[in-house]
């Protein structure tokens, strides 16, 4: 009866294909929910998708068959530990592992809403511990000297120098993220600018007179048409990309003697740290940064405490006489 045997195996293959297709459809629906309902950025959705793909690939190796809803429902905490061990063995850092767990938890929660899976096991998985990393600001004097440089690159046209000075001043004066700055449209420029931040949440930033004057100087000198389009443009008239900005800053770091950690995001850290050091209250800094939780802002008090400790260690007679 060879025909019936082949038929039976064909039915099994079709059943497996249907299971896999069902899970793939659920993954697609979950990603769509992140975009439409949760309003996650394309960057975040892409990262979540890659994390889940890595997880499902691991399950295929771990269980010896393609991941399915049945396998997800049978998982134990020891299976998740094996997944983390694989990631650690591949050299992935704790921060990456924390995000990966968050991605997988998000997918499991989506499945649980449809009564397709239980959350008991994954809720029992402990988040990997993160090392305590303090933000690294640039020293006040250093950053002010840099912002007031006559030029950044000697070979740049004057309008490019105006553009870069306006951008760096904007980052330091407002603490906005580089992505937020590069998304500003020319028509939005005023003493107050509405910014769309993380999670598509709106906030208003107030421009200091110095920042506004430098923006206006750049707009007047820019040879490209700015009306109605993006504010910060490259030499070909296209919108600047954040990697281009960071690449230039890495070169400028060497020319201008800036610290090794100098980046576009370091301006944001410097903004918050210098405000706290000069007496700004934490709630105000939280609002200016657009942090949803005060806990995210409190790290800048830790930076201030760390700097105070360093001054104390250098200044106390018992230390200076060593």
In the annotation, is 224 catalytic?
no
Which residue of the set 177, 214, 253, 269 is catalytic?
A: 177
Q: What pTM was estimated for this model as a whole? A: 0.59
> Can you give the pLDDT at residue 286?
86
Task: Give the residue-averaged pLDDT of 239-256.
Answer: 92
> Can you give the pLDDT at residue 318?
46
Which residue of the set 198, 203, 217, 242 is catalytic?
A: 198
* Cα distances (angstroms) measured from residue 151 to each of 61, 102, 147, 254, 258: 56, 44, 9, 14, 15
Task: Give the residue-averaged pLDDT of 189-204.
Answer: 81
* pLDDT classification of 288: cutoffs 50, 70, 90: confident
The answer to which of 16-25, 89-98, 238-247, 299-308 has the lowest mean pLDDT is 299-308
Task: Give the residue-averaged pLDDT of 108-125.
Answer: 91
Statement: residue 109 has pLDDT above 90: yes
266-281: per-residue pLDDT in tens? 999 999 888 888 888 8
In the annotation, is 177 catalytic?
yes
Question: How far apart are alpha carbons 231 and 181 in whole angstroms?
Answer: 9
Task: Give the residue-averaged pLDDT of 111-140.
Answer: 84
Statement: residue 72 has pLDDT above 60: yes
Of residues 271 and 201, the one with the higher pLDDT is: 271
In the annotation, is 265 catalytic?
yes
In the annotation, is 198 catalytic?
yes
15-42: per-residue pLDDT in tens? 444 444 588 999 999 999 999 888 888 8
> Can you give the pLDDT at residue 319?
45
Which residue of the set 163, 248, 268, 269 is catalytic?
A: 268
Question: How far apart are alpha carbons 289 and 274 in whole angstroms?
Answer: 13
What are the structural domains, with CATH classification, of the chain? Answer: 2-123 (1.10.150.130), 140-315 (1.10.443.10)
Q: Structure tokens of 96?
A: 């990456």
């Amino acid at each position: 009866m060879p025909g019936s045997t082949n038929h039976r195996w064909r039915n099994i293959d079709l059943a497996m294909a249907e299971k896999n297709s069902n899970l793939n459809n659920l993954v697609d629906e979950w990603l769509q929910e992140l975009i439409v309902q949760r309003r996650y950025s394309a960057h975040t959705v892409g990262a979540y998708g890659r994390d889940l793909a890595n997880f499902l690939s691991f399950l295929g190796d771990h269980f010896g068959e393609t991941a399915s809803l049945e396998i997800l429902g049978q998982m134990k905490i020891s299976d998740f530990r094996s997944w983390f061990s694989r990631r650690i063995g591949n050299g992935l850092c704790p921060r990456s592992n924390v995000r990966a767990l968050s991605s997988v938890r998000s997918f499991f929660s989506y499945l649980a809403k449809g009564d397709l899976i239980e959350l008991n096991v994954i809720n029992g998985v402990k988040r990997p511990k993160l090392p305590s990393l303090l933000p690294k600001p640039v020293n006040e004097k250093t950053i002010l000297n840099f912002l007031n440089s006559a030029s950044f690159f000697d070979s740049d046209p004057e309008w490019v120098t105006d553009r870069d000075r306006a951008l760096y001043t904007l980052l330091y004066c407002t603490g906005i993220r580089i992505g937020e700055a590069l998304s500003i449209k020319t028509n939005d420029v005023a003493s107050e600018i509405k910014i769309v931040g993380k999670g598509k949440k709106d906030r208003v930033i107030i421009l200091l007179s110095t920042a506004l004057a430098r923006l206006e100087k750049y707009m007047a000198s820019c040879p490209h048409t700015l009306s109605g389009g993006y504010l910060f443009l490259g030499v070909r008239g296209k919108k600047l990309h954040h990697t281009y900005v960071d690449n230039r800053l890495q070169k400028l770091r060497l020319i201008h003697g800036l610290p090794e950690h100098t980046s576009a995001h370091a301006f944001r850290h410097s903004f918050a740290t210098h405000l706290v050091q000069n007496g700004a209250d934490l709630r105000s800094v939280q609002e200016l940064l657009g942090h949803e939780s005060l806990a995210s802002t409190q790290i800048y008090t830790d930076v201030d405490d760390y700097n105070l400790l360093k001054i104390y260690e250098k200044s106390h007679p018992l230390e200076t006489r060593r």
